[in-house]
């Protein structure tokens, strides 16, 4: 059996062979691609599933970039789409951001990126602007089912729906300027390298992909007024959020890190075991606690620099207890009316997606090398500012 190549030129050639396209636009993707492929080959400890799947993920991203350039060549007006006052929900993972995002996305006046759209933001070149003719949905549904089949416990830690709203971190991954791939594999050299880089190219490409998705949604008959987005990843780069989306409205959700970081580590370890037979839970916990402690400090500094009026703070317990009361605060913050129709749409979504319909998410702090005192000390500035008794 031929060994799969992680050589950058071989992977690029595989992507170019998909549709026969060769134009990637600018070359900002190239250096992070080289760094990532080295780590996948030399550090990731991939198993027989992980090697082909994660290599193909990289090929898919590159093939998507090629298709995006071709769509832009055919329809240059895509770049004229305006992303106005996007609502961006952030917070430590496991702070209710997913529920908040998906509930607000039930309002038909909001554009939201769906899982199949963030995984495959570019349709085939002969797409007819209907869901019936969109191969991305079939591919995304099959991919998600394969993940659940490989580890059914994922359903306990995160609601999964190929047609549901999801995080735009996978759009950032399209430029390789994100931490998403690190949640699938052990990539210490790439992780250290990407943290040192200026992520402006990633956020600028994110804006372009949102313009493209907005154009697609309008061509499909949707008439949203603004985007509702969500990703804990933005905590690490809040300065770039405002640089690229200067009129963004940011909602930050808060919860004790003792209740969030171990849950995140459990989710990531549950993903990693699909692709590697050598996953160290303590290593996972150490890596992601460090990253998010740094991210909370960064966002606190940005808040001080840009002004607290750019942010609305919500707390997990309130959001769970009285979601529509908290969402009304969000709409006041946006300067947008929470209509009776929108409220009814949200209530229908919440009734259909109750948390108790999913299995419980079980884990312990000790699995990941955590203690309550250690986490609170690591996140001390954040806890002192935002965690209420």
- With a cut of 80, say whether residue 176 has pLDDT above it: yes
DSSP letter assigned to residue 46: B
312 membership: H or E segment, kind and range: strand 311-315
In this structure, what token pair is assigned to residue 383?
A: 């806890």
The tokens for 65 are: 């970039």
Across the chain, mean pLDDT equals: 93
Q: How long, in residues, is the chain?
A: 389
Give the H or E element holding residue 227.
Answer: strand 226-230
- Give CB contacts under 8 A, 24+ apart, made by 42-45: 42/189, 43/186, 43/187, 43/188, 43/189, 43/190, 44/185, 44/186, 44/187, 44/275, 44/276, 45/185, 45/186, 45/276, 45/277, 45/278
3-state secondary structure of 91: strand
Q: Tell me how far apart the alpha carbons of residues 234 and 202 are, in angstroms, rounded to a whole number.
A: 12
The Cβ of residue 205 has, within 10 Å, a number of other Cβ atoms equal to: 23
What's residue 359's pLDDT? 56
**3-state SS class at 314:** strand
Q: Which of 63-67, 104-108, 157-161, 368-372 shows the lowest mean pLDDT across its residues?
A: 157-161
Alpha-carbon span 223 to 220, nearest angstrom? 9
Q: What is the mean pLDDT of residues 204-225?
A: 96
What share of the chain in percent tops pLDDT 90? 85
Distance (Å, whole) CA 177 – CA 197: 9
Q: What is the pLDDT of residues 270-295, one digit of tens each?
A: 999 999 999 999 999 999 999 999 99
Contacts 24+ apart (CB under 8 A), 43-49: 43/186, 43/187, 43/188, 43/189, 43/190, 44/185, 44/186, 44/187, 44/275, 44/276, 45/185, 45/186, 45/276, 45/277, 45/278, 46/185, 46/275, 46/276, 47/275, 47/276, 47/277, 49/150, 49/274, 49/275
Q: CA 214, CA 220: separation in Å to the nearest integer?
A: 10
Q: Out of 76-85, 252-261, 273-282, 358-367, pick the least confident.
A: 358-367
pLDDT band with cut points at 50, 70 and 90 for residue 356 = very low
Nearest residue to 45 via CA among 365, 284, 266: 284
- Rounded distance between C-alpha atoms, residue 45 and residue 51, angstroms: 9
pTM above 0.75?
Answer: yes
In the block, residue with structure tokens 């998600």: 144
* pLDDT exceeds cutoff 80 at 103: yes
Average pLDDT over residues 123-142: 88
Q: Are 227 and 110 in contact (CB under 8 A)?
A: yes
pLDDT of residue 129: 83
How large is the average pLDDT for residues 33-41?
A: 98
Identify the CATH homologous superfamily for domain 85-386. P-loop containing nucleotide triphosphate hydrolases (3.40.50.300)
């Amino acid at each position: 059996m031929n060994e799969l190549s992680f050589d950058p030129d071989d992977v690029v050639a595989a992507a170019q062979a998909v549709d026969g396209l060769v134009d990637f636009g600018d070359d900002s993707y190239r250096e992070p691609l080289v760094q990532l492929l080295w780590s996948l080959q030399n550090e990731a400890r991939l198993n027989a599933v992980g090697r082909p799947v994660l290599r193909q993920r990289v090929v898919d991203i590159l093939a998507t970039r090629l298709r995006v350039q071709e769509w832009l060549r055919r329809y240059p007006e895509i770049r004229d789409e305006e992303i106005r006052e996007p609502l961006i929900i952030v917070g430590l993972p496991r702070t209710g951001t997913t529920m908040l995002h998906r509930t607000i996305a039930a309002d038909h006046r909001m554009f939201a990126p769906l899982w199949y759209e963030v995984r495959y933001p570019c349709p085939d070149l002969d797409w007819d602007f209907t869901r019936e003719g969109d191969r991305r949905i079939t591919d995304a549904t099959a991919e998600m089912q394969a993940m659940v089949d490989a580890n059914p416990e994922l359903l306990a830690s995160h609601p999964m729906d190929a047609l549901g709203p999801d995080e735009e971190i996978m759009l950032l991954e399209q430029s390789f300027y994100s931490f998403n791939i690190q949640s699938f594999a052990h990539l210490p050299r790439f992780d250290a390298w990407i943290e040192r880089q200026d992520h402006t190219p990633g956020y600028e490409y994110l804006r372009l992909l949102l313009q493209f998705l907005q154009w697609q949604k309008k061509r499909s008959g949707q008439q949203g007024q603004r985007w509702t987005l969500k990703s804990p990843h933005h905590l690490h780069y809040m300065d770039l959020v405002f640089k690229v989306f200067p009129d963004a409205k940011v909602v930050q959700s808060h919860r004790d890190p003792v209740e969030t970081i171990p849950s995140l580590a459990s989710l990531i370890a549950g993903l990693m075991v699909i692709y590697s037979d050598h996953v160290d839970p303590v290593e996972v916990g150490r890596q992601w606690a460090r990253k998010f402690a740094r991210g909370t400090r960064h966002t606190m500094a940005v808040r001080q620099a840009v002004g607290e009026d750019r942010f609305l703070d919500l707390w997990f317990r309130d959001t769970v207890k009285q979601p529509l009361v908290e969402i009304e605060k969000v709409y006041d913050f946006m300067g947008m009316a929470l209509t009776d129709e929108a409220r009814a749409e949200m209530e229908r979504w919440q009734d259909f997606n109750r948390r108790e319909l999913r299995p419980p998410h079980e884990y312990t702090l000790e699995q990941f090398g955590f203690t309550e005192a250690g986490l609170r000390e690591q996140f001390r500035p954040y806890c002192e500012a935002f965690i209420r008794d």
